[in-house]
Structure 1
Amino acid sequence: METMQIGRAKLTWLNGGVNFLDGGAMFGVVPKALWGKKYPYNDKNQIELRTDPILLQLDGKNYMIDSGMGNGKLTNKQIRNFGVLEESSIDQSLGELGLSTDDIDALLMTHLHFDHACGLTKPTDNGYESVFKNAVIHVSQVEWDEMRNPNIRSVNTYWEMNWKPIQQQVQPFEQEITITNGLKMVHTGGHSDGHSILLFEDDDHTWIHMADIMPTHAHQNKLWALAYDDYPVTSVHQKEKWMDYGYKKKAWYTFYHDAYYRAIQFDESGSRIDQVERERYDYN
C-alpha cells in the first residue's frame, strides 16, 4: 500500500478493486490519437482503472475517501460489462494497518456512482447492511437526493442496495462542509450533479482530490471531460478553477481511479514536480 504524508494528513491507498472501461468513454470527444499517448490501453481499447479508497488519518481520526467496488454485489453481466477483474479487499488492507471497518470515523463520498459506493454495504442473508457501522457519511445534498430518486440516465448507477442500509448514517451538506481544520468538501457538479471534491490546506501544504472530474493523470488537460459526465461543461469549468488554484500552491493531486499514479504534484505552470507511483500488478 502506498502512503504519503502531506502536512498533518497521512494518506494510504487501500485495495478497492479494478475494472477496465472503454478508453473512448473515459476521454469523451478527445481522439484516441491524443489520449492514447497519455494512458495505456489494451487490444479492446479498454483502460485499467482502480477503485481504491484513500484512508486519511488526520487529527486522531480515520476518514475514508469513497468506498471501493465492494464484494459480491455485481451480477455476472455487470462484471463482464464493467470489466471488473478484482473486487474490494478493504478488510485486508485495513487489517494490515491494525484497523478494521469499525475504526472508520467518517466516509467522505465524492459522489455515489456504483464504483464509488458499492463498498458502503455488503450482502447478508436478509438483504444488505452497512460496512462502516460507526462512520458518519458525508455527501452533497444534491447527490444524496439523486441517489434516492435517480433519473432515466442515473438509475443505472444509483442503486438502492447502496443507500438504503446506510441512510441513517448520512449527513448531507449544501455547497461545502468543513470536516476538520484545513479539510473541506466542496460541491462542484460536473461528473454528476452532486459531485464533490476535497481540499486540504495546512500552512504551505495542499492537496486536492478532484475525484472524477480528473480521474487519472491523463485527464489533466482542462478540456478533457468524460463521456460519462452528466454536465461536461461544468466539469471543464470546475477543473479549470481548481487546477489554477492548486497550481499556485504547488498542490498535490490525489487519485482514486489512476492505475499508474497515486498522487502528482504540479508547479505554477502545471508541470509535474513530484509523484507517487502505484505498485503495478499483472492481471493476466
Structure 2
Amino acid sequence: MQALDKAQEKQKPFFLYMAHYAIHTPIQPDMRFYQKYLDMGLPPVEAAYATLIEGMDKSLGDIMKYLDEKKLTDNTVILFMSDNGGLAAHTRAGKLHVQNFPLNSGKGSAYEGGVREPMIVRWPGVVKPNTRSDHYLMVEDFFPTILEIAGINQYETKQERDGISFLPLLTDQGMVQDRDIYWHYPHKWGPTGPGIGATSSIRSGDWKLVYYYATGKRELFNIPNDIGEKHDLSGEKPQVVKKLAKRLGNYLRSVDAQRPTLMATGKLAPWPDEVH
C-alpha cells in the first residue's frame, strides 16, 4: 500500500506489479485461516495450501479496497494471472496429479494442468462483467497489452518482442492474431507424473502436440473437445501430427533450442519431426 500511497502523493498514473511468493513450496500455513480449514476436515498439508490461497485472495482484496477508498476503481485496470499450473505432485495429500481437475496433471507437466493458467481482468466501463474468452494467450502478451492500454503505441525494444497485444479481446473489438505457441522443456524436473519429462509442445488452433525426447513419442489432443487430454489422437490424425511436428521442429531449430542427450547412444535426441 505504501507504493500506492507514493503514487497518489505525486498525482501521477501508476503501474503496480505484485508477485506473491505464495502459493509455493514450502507449504506453510497462514495461521489467520488455518483452523478454519482443519475444521473442514482437510489434511494438514491441504489446509495449509488453502490458507495460502486465501491469503493471496485477501491481499488482492486489500488492494481493491484501497482503490475504492481512494476513488480510483473506475480508472484502474486489474490483470490477475498465474505463472504455471497448480502443484499436483510432491508434498500434496491424497491422490496425486488430480488437483487441477478437469485438467490433467500439474506444475512441471506439458499437459494443460501444468501450462494453463487462470486470468481475470477487471476494467470498469470497458470489460463487460461475466464475459469469457477461450482464446489462448501467453505471458509475453502482457507487455504490449499494458503499454497499449496506457496509450503507448510507438516504442522500441532492445530485444525482439514476442508478445501480441490482446487489447482487442478486452475491448470486444476482435480477436488476437492467430498464431502457434510453443513450450520447450528439455530437462528433468523433480517428480515424475503424467506429461512430466523432457518435452516440447505446440498449440495450433484447436490442436496440441506433445513430444517426449526420451521415447520419441508424440501425442495429439484436440483441446476444446478434450481439455483433460485423455484421448491421444495421434494414431487417427497422422497428417496433423506430421504438420505440427514440422512446425515445432522448425521453430526449435530457428532458436537453436537445447536438446537432451540420450544415455543409450550418447547422441542428441532427435527433433520432433525426425521421428517416425
Give TM-score, length-normalised by structure 1: 0.23
The structure with the greater share of residues assigned to strand is 1
More contact order relative to length (CA 8 Å, sep ≥ 6): 1
